[in-house]
Chains A and B, each alone.
Chain A
């Protein structure tokens, strides 16, 4: 379960000489880091939502243009720390020059629901905690997206629906029972149990692969998994 020596993570692929590989990796990194960085700009740099959105988009445009992700050195810091330092530097320069980047040219890296993010940032005094929580949410959201693609592509629609209805329910009250799910899909309760177990196992593997992809080294991978699980290192 460690970090394979031959594995080229997204972070490393972002430094690839091959344009297609590099662009794909950069876009994937942007997809995971957009919301955490928005939260960081809002809370650490105390920017209004519209300005924070512009600065976040601007940062990614700048990062891709200058190849910032490719310059990351795993020996010096965790990738997340490096990204935040780059953001801080970018925001300081942008504010000093009193310029706002033009939304990263024509590129919008991820669909943005700023109002939804704002709802979560209200009354959040701790910028680090917000960044951490939004990073975890982005990683798990990316993993759910990948699970959906995989299950739809392989025709396992009922299994996916069970997982969505039971494990992705917005509240505990909204969760159906296994028996209700069995009735809804005309299957046995044991089938619900087995299919949910399989979906969870796949989800778990995808999450670990996603985190591994976002890490630059074995140590960083382990530290990121700890953060994701909320485990305090002892």
Chain B
């Protein structure tokens, strides 16, 4: 028999990779791929709704890989928060591949959202929601370990969801376990991954570093490089962000975990302070900067006083004449 064509070859490879049919879920198009799993759009025939089905990418997964996807599903199921995508079901496809089913998130990825025509305030308010979800996970003993704009989704109604908890670890889990998401290598993404993650060490402060990377991307619309290069990256950009925001970003991305914010909540607190024109912990202001900030914060009152003074002067002049 003659061999198969290139077009058929590509199709057959995809067929082998395609998850087997499930009696409850009608599996549709591939909508995302991660290190160990592929995410398909699926239709839940029982509840008649669209869902996202994440399945082990390889049909020949090891016990470790099966354990990892199960762990990811369990972690997600343990985190009931509006900023974390809920899991509906876990199971095994007829071909033996493990899967879990989660809410189908419609919206825009954070990196695309940031590149759109958004005000800095709008972006920072979305960032605060990311911090909130991460702080919630930390309170539940879960560290994400791969925070980056590509893992954040913004829904049509302004909701912000943190996705892809595939390399997350819980406080019950040792720093580098046999079932680590990337056993033998460091979990995370260069630029967003804290230096200590290279050694397999990660506590809540590793996520603070990741949040710093997301904030950097939000401010600069480009991916951060290593922390030590941040200063030169600021200078290379046409519109350098305000000093207070730069300081927040730099403290979050400090190479030494002890020099960073110690929690996601404290990052959020400083960003919220910036938005409210309050002093931020990461930044020491000069007198001019402080005056300007106070002026911004009290601009309504200042304008009223100025208006009053103008009226008084005008009245005085009028009376004298």
Contact = CB atoms under 8 A, between A and B. Distances in A.
Chain B interface helix/strand/loop/mixed = loop
Interface string B3-43: 11111110111011110110000000000000110000000
B58 A222 contact: yes
Contact of B60 (A138, A167, A197, A222): A222
Main secondary structure of the interface of A (DSSP, over half): helix
Contact of B5 (A136, A171, A207, A222): A171
Given A113-B2, A225-B60, A226-B58, A167 B12 contact: yes
Interface in A178-229: 197, 200-201, 203-205, 207-208, 221-222, 225-226, 228-229
A interface residue count range (under 10 / 10 to 19 / 20 to 34 / 35 or more):
35 or more
A1 B5 contact: no
B60 A234 contact: no
Contacts of B36: 234
Interface in A141-172: 141, 144-145, 167-172
B35 A234 contact: yes
Contacts of A230: 13
Nearest to B10: A230
A172 to B, nearest CB: 6
A141 B12 CA distance: 10
A231 B57 contact: yes
A171 B2 contact: no
Given A1-B59, A1-B61, A221-B60, A200 B15 contact: yes
B94 interface: yes
Contacts of B6: 120
Given A167-B8, A167-B11, A170-B7, A201 B94 contact: yes
A113 B2 CA distance: 7
Contact of A234 (B7, B20, B21, B182): B182
Interface string B80-100: 000000000000001111000
Chain B interface size band reads 20 to 34
Contact of A140 (B4, B21, B61, B94): B4
B110 to A, nearest CB: 23
B60 A204 contact: no
A228 B15 CA distance: 11
B1 interface: yes
A2 B35 contact: no
A227 B12 CA distance: 14
A73 B12 CA distance: 31
A67 B13 CA distance: 32
Given A133-B9, A167-B11, A170-B8, 7 more contacts: A1-B95, A120-B6, A137-B9, A168-B4, A203-B12, A225-B59, A228-B13
Closest 7 CB pairs of A and B: A170-B5, A234-B35, A225-B60, A1-B96, A222-B60, A168-B8, A140-B12
14 contacts: A35-B3, A111-B1, A120-B6, A133-B9, A137-B3, A140-B9, A167-B12, A167-B15, A197-B21, A201-B94, A208-B59, A225-B60, A228-B16, A229-B58
Interface of A: 1-2, 35, 111, 113, 116-117, 120, 133, 136-138, 140-141, 144-145, 167-172, 197, 200-201, 203-205, 207-208, 221-222, 225-226, 228-231, 234
